[in-house]
Chains A and B, each alone.
Chain A
Amino acid sequence: MLARRPLLVEGLTALGLVAVPFVLPYFGFSPGTINQILVWGLFGIGFDIVFGYTGLLSFGQSAFYGTGGFIAAYLLTNNLMSNVLLALLVGMVGAAVAGVLVGVIALRRTGIYFAMITVAIAETFFFIENSPLSAWTGGENGLPGVPTPSFTFGSFTYHVTNGWSMYGFLAVCYFIGLAIALRIVRSPVGAIFSAIRDNPLRAQAVGHAVGLYKLTAFVIAAAYAGLAGGLLGVLQGFMPPDAFTFDTSGQLVMQTAIGGIGTLFGPLVGAVVWLYLRDFLQEVVGLGAAWKLVLGVVFVLLVCFLRRGLIGGLQDIIARLVTRSRRAASEAAPAPAAPSLASVGPSRRRQDTSFSGPVLEARGLTKSFGGLIANRNINFAVEPGELRGIIGPNGAGKSTFFKMLTCEMPPSSGRIIFQGRDITGMDVAAVCQLGLTKSYQVNQLFSRLTLRQNVVIAALAERRGIFSLDLLRRMDRVPGLETQVESTLALVGLAARADLPVAELAYGEKRRLEIALALASSPSLLLLDEPLAGMSPQERVETVQLLKNIRRGRTLVVVDHDMDAIFELAERITVLHEGTLLAEGTPAEIQRNGLVQEAYLGGVAAA
């Protein structure tokens, strides 16, 4: 909806910002409070990108707020720079550099570890500002005398002082910051951020350098924080040391959660609520210091009952209304046509046509977990265009074998060679970029995205490579993406359901989407880990047909327990048993093989 009217949000925001001086004062907001709200809102845009979009909860944003703020304030108060905008920019860059350094350390861990480490690092910044650097930062006194900018347009000069002239300046800054953030979250990089939030493992497996994208989000957040910190100094005419405190980070987190995460506007709304309640409860209701208690209680209740904050709650209500009408519409729509088969060419730029010999080769592959040997000295080769089946009783080591082939798990010894190239020890994303990927035994989808968005994530890796910083590129400007996505969806027969959220799909559809994610990266070799697991007879028939379709021009390796399907599909079958390669041959040979019969039936058939 928004994609079709791309400037709608920007336009409404601009209108809103213009309207604020005429509206908010009636509700008791002073210009000073409104200006603070804008600074918090800008600060929060970056935080929302790293938390709301990428899923990294940092409790250490104060580090960058303070860094940017103090750099700008130091440059301005020591007359090293007279141009306020330039000083703000330098502060922003300084904060971004700090973001790179902190990110490299903190992003080594995820989840709660990441949160704890960001807290600790932010505290370090505070202590460093307060003591070792106090000669530059003024220590506990901060830096007074930060000047305000003025701008000359021809004969007219706009002096920013305080009150509404400051508002004009801050509103422009906020608007630019927001417009850029909107471009970022709508760009391919923004889509990948959401994918990382939902399922970092799969984002990596479809070929994105997740670590670098996380760092990108973190640095973007640091840059926004740095700019906001600089503006805080300009706004107050003084750079306070408490910008660096844990309270600052905490307030940012709370405001964002109150307003709504993953909306970009959440922090702004949260700041409105926070500062309004502060002023209102303290002065009008006369609660004094107890206002923060009320706020704390409100916050806990919101987290408990309105997880996505005020904006998120509103969106949910709207979305529910929209879906209801849309569902009514889609039920009336005709049944989807049969999937077109003339689609998704196998591969593509990276295919190495000069190469001949086996596509994939495993030499002496062994994996041991402590004393348990899951795979022992397996030699295995797949020829181009082949459809290979792998079977074996439970515990035969099939999944371990697959994980090693796609480099999800390093082998204890042995080599893996893909298209003549040794890929042992390479990263999953890099291997996927070479054209080798797999679909998972247990669905690994991006659960909060729609079906189409899921496929887009995988296709983006193929179209843009492992890492690309096209932060401001519009999604529809990625060459060939649309075709790639549509033909993949058509191939798995999900085109008609493309705009549904994953959560609304039936199990069999999710299974096909799982395969589609692997297909969308145009692999030349596709490994399928139990594609038929848990399917109803009808779904099974459809999926077997799907496998027959997608094998054209591709090499496939399929692990499954469904013997009928494997014997129907595969040209050659490899049998694993107790971690070793038991037999290999055509379906007919395997059927006659006494060892195989013994492994499966415990010798009854052989006897």
Chain B
Amino acid sequence: MITWSNFVSQLFNGLALGALLALISAGLTIIYGTLGVLNLAHGAMFMLGGYAGYVAFQATGSYAIAVIAGALFLVVVGGLVELVVVRHFYNRPPEDQLLVTFGIGIVIVELVRLAFGSLSLTVPAPSWAAGVTSLGFMIYPTYRIVVLAIAAAALAVLYVVLYRTRLGMMVRAGIEDSGMVDMLGINIYRVFMLVFGIGAMAAGFAGIVNAPVVSLTPDMGDGILVQTFVVVVIGGVGSFPGAILGGLIAGEILSLTSMVDPSYSEVMLFVVMTLVLLLRPEGLLGLRGRA
């Protein structure tokens, strides 16, 4: 039976999930838009973020440190992956890029499995965000509100970085024409490395923030990667606003459908993706002809 309060709380769940998906997808889309590489290791980055947060939390007991340390760790990992492997694939066919990032994803997953085992681990919600909060019209888990707030804040920061800073300008110019940016005397490779790092961080950050809601397993990135694909296909690949819109749509579809029948929620997501592909193949906010 669907009640009004149930509906509203699912709407909120969808919003929180959507904001997280938007953040992860924004990371994927920034990397793709700038470097032209679809990072199939993105799900692994999400997972790695969760584990990095777990380690930092075990060591310090501080939620804030866990989030910051985990995010910084992912910037470094992302930058290294770009520097050591991905950089050598810019001039190779997209299929090779897919294969190599897919392989990197497996290596990361298996490394984590080796270090932490396959059993699921949990990170507790910070004490100040434990329990529930009354929003007046309903009672809602406090940490989920925190997730929503943090993800929204992170998206805002990402937006400011992309649209209001010099680096962001270089990145957006790089999306348009990286050769031209290079000729203007900007070290495009350093920008690329940073972009890959930031993109990985977005996924990893979402992984840490999400860790108290779910339990950590090395394989947790697979499902997220697929959902992220759906988000960017719906929103338009390479479009930052598209990632946000797509994320929110996907979050709401998943959580509202699961209210009716959880087993159909993923199916419904793909149905919507198919509809978008049929009616507007470039995605809702994607640019025609850019693909």
B102 touches A253 (CB 8 A): yes
B266 touches A127 (CB 8 A): yes
Chain A contacts for B274, CB-based, 8 A? 105, 121
A300 touches B103 (CB 8 A): yes
Chain B contacts for A112, CB-based, 8 A? 32, 38, 94, 98, 237
> CB of B233 within 8 A of chain A?
yes
> CB of B104 within 8 A of chain A?
yes
> CB of B170 within 8 A of chain A?
no
Cα–Cα, bound, A51→B94 (Å): 12
Query: What is the distance, in angstroms, from A252's C-beta to the closest C-beta of chain B?
Result: 12
Cα–Cα, bound, A119→B43 (Å): 13
By beta carbon, the residue of chain A nearest B218 is A289
Chain A contacts for B225, CB-based, 8 A? 119
User: Among A116, A132, A250, A297, which residue has its beta carbon within 8 angstroms of that of B229?
Assistant: A116
B106 touches A307 (CB 8 A): no
Chain B contacts for A130, CB-based, 8 A? 263
Query: What is the distance, in angstroms, from A259's C-beta to the closest C-beta of chain B?
Result: 13
> CB of A123 within 8 A of chain B?
yes
Cα–Cα, bound, A299→B99 (Å): 9
Query: What is the distance, in angstroms, from B201's C-beta to the closest C-beta of chain A?
Result: 22
Known contacts A128-B267, A131-B263, A296-B106; is-contact A120 B281 (Cβ 8 Å)? no
Chain A contacts for B114, CB-based, 8 A? 289-290, 293
Cα–Cα, bound, A102→B289 (Å): 23
A304 touches B88 (CB 8 A): yes
> CB of A394 within 8 A of chain B?
no
> CB of A217 within 8 A of chain B?
no
User: Among B103, B118, B222, B233, which residue has its beta carbon within 8 angstroms of that of A299?
Assistant: B103
Query: What is the distance, in angstroms, from B259's C-beta to the closest C-beta of chain A?
Result: 15
Cα–Cα, bound, A250→B271 (Å): 23
Known contacts A109-B291, A123-B226, A293-B110; is-contact A303 B237 (Cβ 8 Å)? no
User: Among A116, A124, A131, A257, which residue has its beta carbon within 8 angstroms of that of B99?
Assistant: A257
> CB of A113 within 8 A of chain B?
yes
> CB of A108 within 8 A of chain B?
yes
Known contacts A108-B277, A115-B38, A116-B38; is-contact A132 B267 (Cβ 8 Å)? yes
Chain B contacts for A292, CB-based, 8 A? 106, 110, 113
By beta carbon, the residue of chain B nearest A124 is B270
> CB of A55 within 8 A of chain B?
yes
Chain B contacts for A119, CB-based, 8 A? 225-226, 229
Cα–Cα, bound, A17→B196 (Å): 47
Most buried by B among A51, A57, A120: A120
A132 touches B95 (CB 8 A): no
**Which residues of A, 280-303, contact B by the 8 Å Cβ criterion?**
289-290, 292-293, 295-297, 299-300, 303
Query: What is the distance, in angstroms, from A298's C-beta to the closest C-beta of chain B?
Result: 9
Chain A contacts for B90, CB-based, 8 A? none
> CB of A246 within 8 A of chain B?
yes
B263 touches A121 (CB 8 A): no
User: Among A51, A55, A117, A303, which residue has its beta carbon within 8 angstroms of that of B100?
Assistant: A303
By beta carbon, the residue of chain B nearest A110 is B291
Cα–Cα, bound, A113→B290 (Å): 12
Known contacts A254-B103, A300-B100, A304-B85; is-contact A289 B118 (Cβ 8 Å)? yes
User: Among B94, B111, B113, B230, which residue has its beta carbon within 8 angstroms of that of A120?
Assistant: B230
Cα–Cα, bound, A468→B20 (Å): 48
Chain B contacts for A257, CB-based, 8 A? 99
Write the A72-113 contact mask toward B (1 if CB under 8 angstroms, else 0).
000000000000000000000000000000000100110111
A127 touches B110 (CB 8 A): no
> CB of B278 within 8 A of chain A?
yes
> CB of B107 within 8 A of chain A?
yes
A117 touches B277 (CB 8 A): yes
Cα–Cα, bound, A130→B96 (Å): 32
B110 touches A299 (CB 8 A): no
Cα–Cα, bound, A124→B107 (Å): 26
Chain B contacts for A59, CB-based, 8 A? 98, 102
Chain A contacts for B273, CB-based, 8 A? 117, 120
Chain A contacts for B233, CB-based, 8 A? 113, 116-117, 120
Query: What is the distance, in angstroms, from B58's C-beta to the closest C-beta of chain A?
Result: 22
A120 touches B270 (CB 8 A): yes
Most buried by B among A55, A108, A130, A131: A131
B85 touches A300 (CB 8 A): yes
> CB of B232 within 8 A of chain A?
yes
Cα–Cα, bound, A113→B29 (Å): 12
> CB of B264 within 8 A of chain A?
yes
User: Among B99, B226, B263, which residue has its beta carbon within 8 angstroms of that of A132?
Assistant: B263
Write the A240-260 contact mask toward B (1 if CB under 8 angstroms, else 0).
000000110010011001000
Cα–Cα, bound, A105→B278 (Å): 7
Chain A contacts for B88, CB-based, 8 A? 304
Chain B contacts for A115, CB-based, 8 A? 38, 98
Cα–Cα, bound, A59→B102 (Å): 10
Cα–Cα, bound, A296→B99 (Å): 11
Query: What is the distance, in angstroms, from B268's C-beta to the closest C-beta of chain A?
Result: 10
Chain A contacts for B104, CB-based, 8 A? 300
Cα–Cα, bound, A300→B111 (Å): 14
Cα–Cα, bound, A254→B291 (Å): 26
Cα–Cα, bound, A111→B95 (Å): 7
Chain A contacts for B229, CB-based, 8 A? 116-117, 119-120
Chain A contacts for B230, CB-based, 8 A? 120
Query: What is the distance, in angstroms, from A422's C-beta to the closest C-beta of chain B?
Result: 26
Query: What is the distance, in angstroms, from A304's C-beta to the closest C-beta of chain B?
Result: 7
B281 touches A108 (CB 8 A): yes
Chain A contacts for B92, CB-based, 8 A? 307
Cα–Cα, bound, A24→B223 (Å): 38
Write the B269-291 contact mask toward A (1 if CB under 8 angstroms, else 0).
01101100110010000000001
Chain B contacts for A123, CB-based, 8 A? 226, 266, 270
Chain A contacts for B96, CB-based, 8 A? 303, 307
Chain A contacts for B109, CB-based, 8 A? 296
B291 touches A113 (CB 8 A): yes
Chain A contacts for B95, CB-based, 8 A? 51, 55, 57, 111
B102 touches A250 (CB 8 A): yes
User: Among B32, B107, B118, which residue has its beta carbon within 8 angstroms of that of A296?
Assistant: B107
Cα–Cα, bound, A292→B88 (Å): 24
B99 touches A303 (CB 8 A): yes
Chain B contacts for A120, CB-based, 8 A? 226, 229-230, 233, 270, 273
Given contacts A112-B32, A290-B114, list 7 more A-B pairs with CB under 8 A.
Answer: A55-B95, A119-B225, A121-B270, A124-B266, A128-B267, A257-B99, A300-B107
* 30 A-B residue pairings within 8 Å (CB atoms): A55-B95, A57-B98, A108-B281, A111-B291, A112-B38, A112-B98, A113-B291, A116-B229, A116-B232, A117-B277, A119-B225, A119-B229, A120-B270, A120-B273, A123-B270, A124-B267, A127-B270, A246-B222, A250-B106, A254-B102, A290-B110, A292-B113, A293-B107, A293-B110, A296-B103, A296-B107, A297-B107, A299-B99, A300-B85, A307-B92
Chain B residues close to A by CB (< 8 Å): 32, 38, 85, 88, 92, 94-96, 98-100, 102-104, 106-107, 109-111, 113-114, 118, 222, 225-226, 229-230, 232-233, 237, 263-264, 266-267, 270-271, 273-274, 277-278, 281, 291
Chain A residues close to B by CB (< 8 Å): 51, 55, 57, 59, 105, 108-109, 111-113, 115-117, 119-121, 123-124, 127-128, 130-132, 246-247, 250, 253-254, 257, 289-290, 292-293, 295-297, 299-300, 303-304, 307
Top-5 shortest CB links A-B:
A131-B263, A293-B110, A296-B106, A300-B103, A124-B270
